[in-house]
Chains A and B, each alone.
Chain A
Amino acid sequence: MSEPGSFAIETTGLVKVFGTTRAVDGVDLRIRAGGVYGVLGPNGAGKTTTIRMLATLLRPDGGTARVLGHDVVREADMVRERVSLTGQFASLDEDFTGKENLVLLGMLYGYARRDANARADELLAAFGLEDAADRQVKHYSGGMRRRLDIAASIVVTPDLIFLDEPTTGLDPRSRNQVWDIVRALVADGTTVLLTTQYLDEADQLADRLAIIDHGRVIAEGTPGELKASVGSGALHVRLRDPEQRMEAERALADALNIPIALDSDPAALSARVNDAELVAHALSSLSQSGIEVTNFALGQPSLDEVFLALTGHPAEEETTQEEPVA
């Protein structure tokens, strides 16, 4: 039984080894029920492996994991009753129609044939797949396939759903549709754990997130906290006259009291600042010294910068989507 106030997911020292690869290397997570929890990491970070252990599809080689209060190894059946998984690659019967896929799952969950049919129709309508209901899945587009795959995971609404890179390889429109579905799930009380390689996706959807790299959690917190941990945003200034750059550097350094970076553009300077007031002061001191500014910008640190600061390498943005070929 899960006691009130306990975590939806709680792992201690979770480990999975494939041969010599430590795919998951001591992951500790504490995830509260409700909302979206994001797991962010580059290719090969161990996201899928972690999720598969939590969804009882892989047995951990070390550590423990409890999902909704149940141990994923000893009480796997109890976990399976309450969670569902939409894997990184669609797990659908390609030869079947969209509707048949859902009816089959409905019946496996215990619906009578007629109720399973009704439930399938309802889901197809809700996910904008009505027109494709009687088409074989192998003729679906990537976005349709994704939505059907998610629909298949919520034939019976789970208390917790794992979505493994639900938007990788989707166009912006399809991505938005998946986001709508995720938000609707959360509004409905389902806890969502999603993995992503896209920083803006984590920013948009996740209430909290863990950044993992090489099988370890390297940072955890709300997107805001993670950004704050890197310190600051960047001030970018561009001068009319590149000749004045040295002078501008001195003026800015005096006003901001921090090191100023000279960009590759001979007319540009930048600095990390965390106080917008100081920026106004610095800019006015530039004009007082007769230095003309053509352009300036003050940016929030992006999660990209967070990622870079934490791992020393940028998050890969290339997609790894491989649609299974029928």
Chain B
Amino acid sequence: MTTRTTSLPGTPDAISEDRLRTALSPRARPAKPGPVAVSLTFGWRALLKIKHVPEQLMDVTVFPIMFTLMFTYLFGGAIAGSTSAYLQYLLPGVLVQGVIIITMYTGMTLNDDIQKGVFDRFRSLPVWRPAFLVGALLGDTARFGLASAIIIGLGLILGFRPDGGASGLVLGTLVVLAFAFGLSWIWITLGFIMRTPQSLMAASMMVMFPLTFVSNIFVQPETMPSWLEAFVNVNPVSQLATAVRGLMHGDIETTALTVSLLSPVGLTAIFAPITMYLYRNKK
């Protein structure tokens, strides 16, 4: 028994020799976990992170709501004659933009883990190595899913009435998610290379602002100068918006859909191996 008080915050508590010995006593190791179990654990970590740092959900929740409301009421009347007509055009695009913008968090989170040294701890564990990244992607699924649900929910409230019905909505969302996962690899790669999460954010903004705004998300490109129209038409984000719009309103845009599905495959094929290389050789 001790009469010493240890309640002062920050005061080191006494270390009991007996407890120390018990805690260190040899015991059976748990069975080595498989790749799925480890990936799920890392996924749990990503969710725990969201719980502790809810601010990071601002971009996932508040921005999409702002964008949807702002553009619907700001441009609705001018562009399509009525807000409700414009919403039918705009909403699939806002979904695309809302999800694409938050892909950079994957890279920023990773970069932060590297800077803080947590990454080294995980890298020295005897576990299936890609699990760390798979877990991060699982966490992203939660973020992307939440953002999608908010945007679509708000759209429905405001009067978005897709002709493709529920299945169109689901399929459209899945295509957006597939594209987002492909794009995430770029930010993961940069997450290994850049020095700070902030520099990564700046770099990704430089890519994502033009890519999402200079697209057909907000307006049809026909009214643009021809050089701009040309860019907008080849912009993969336009292709994605067209494909998603098509699925949600019940007509399949074959070319756009193909481009939208092949882009993430291509991105993954290029960047996933680079990522694994960087992972193994990070200094």
Q: Which residues of A pack against B, CB within 8 Å? A: 18, 55-59, 77, 80-81, 83-85, 87, 89-96, 100, 104-105, 107-112, 115, 122-123, 125-132, 136, 140-141, 143-144, 147, 152, 154, 156-157, 173-174, 177, 180-181, 184-185, 187-190, 324
Contact = CB atoms under 8 A, between A and B. Distances in A.
Given A95-B49, A126-B19, A157 B27 contact: yes
Interface string B4-39: 001100101111110111111111011111000110
B48 to A, nearest CB: 6
B45 interface: yes
Given A91-B121, A92-B118, A126-B22, 18 more contacts: A84-B124, A91-B116, A95-B53, A100-B48, A105-B125, A108-B38, A108-B125, A110-B31, A110-B33, A110-B37, A115-B30, A126-B16, A127-B20, A141-B12, A157-B24, A188-B21, A324-B115, A324-B116
Given A85-B124, A95-B49, A185 B24 contact: yes
A147 B23 CA distance: 14
A144 B12 contact: yes
Contact of B122 (A18, A108, A123, A156): A108
A17 B271 CA distance: 28
A51 to B, nearest CB: 11
Contacts of A83: 124
A91 B32 contact: no
A125 B53 contact: no
A125 B19 contact: yes
A95 B52 contact: yes
B117 interface: yes
B30 A122 contact: no
Nearest to B115: A324
Given A56-B124, A89-B117, A95-B49, A187 B30 contact: no
Contacts of A188: 21, 24-26
A123 B7 CA distance: 19
Contacts of A147: 12
**Nearest 9 pairs between A and B by C-beta?**
A128-B13, A126-B23, A110-B30, A91-B117, A91-B121, A110-B33, A126-B19, A80-B126, A81-B126
B123 A104 contact: no
27 contacts: A57-B120, A59-B281, A80-B126, A90-B117, A91-B116, A91-B119, A91-B120, A93-B49, A107-B44, A108-B33, A110-B31, A110-B32, A110-B37, A123-B23, A125-B23, A131-B6, A131-B13, A141-B12, A152-B121, A156-B30, A157-B26, A180-B15, A180-B20, A184-B20, A188-B21, A188-B24, A324-B117
Contact of A130 (B13, B30, B32): B13
A31 B32 CA distance: 28
Given A87-B120, A174-B12, A122 B23 contact: yes
A150 B265 CA distance: 42
B8 to A, nearest CB: 10
Measured as residues with beta carbon below 8 angstroms from the partner, the interface class of chain B is 35 or more
B208 interface: no
Nearest to A325: B116
A14 B272 CA distance: 32
A9 to B, nearest CB: 16
Contact of A136 (B41, B52, B123): B52
B134 interface: no
B127 interface: yes
Nearest to B38: A108
Interface in B41-57: 41-42, 44-45, 48-49, 52-53
B30 A109 contact: yes
A96 B52 contact: yes
A220 B37 CA distance: 44
A130 B15 CA distance: 10
Contact of A128 (B7, B16, B30): B16
Contacts of A84: 124
A107 B45 CA distance: 11
Nearest to B29: A156
Given A57-B120, A184-B20, A131 B7 contact: yes
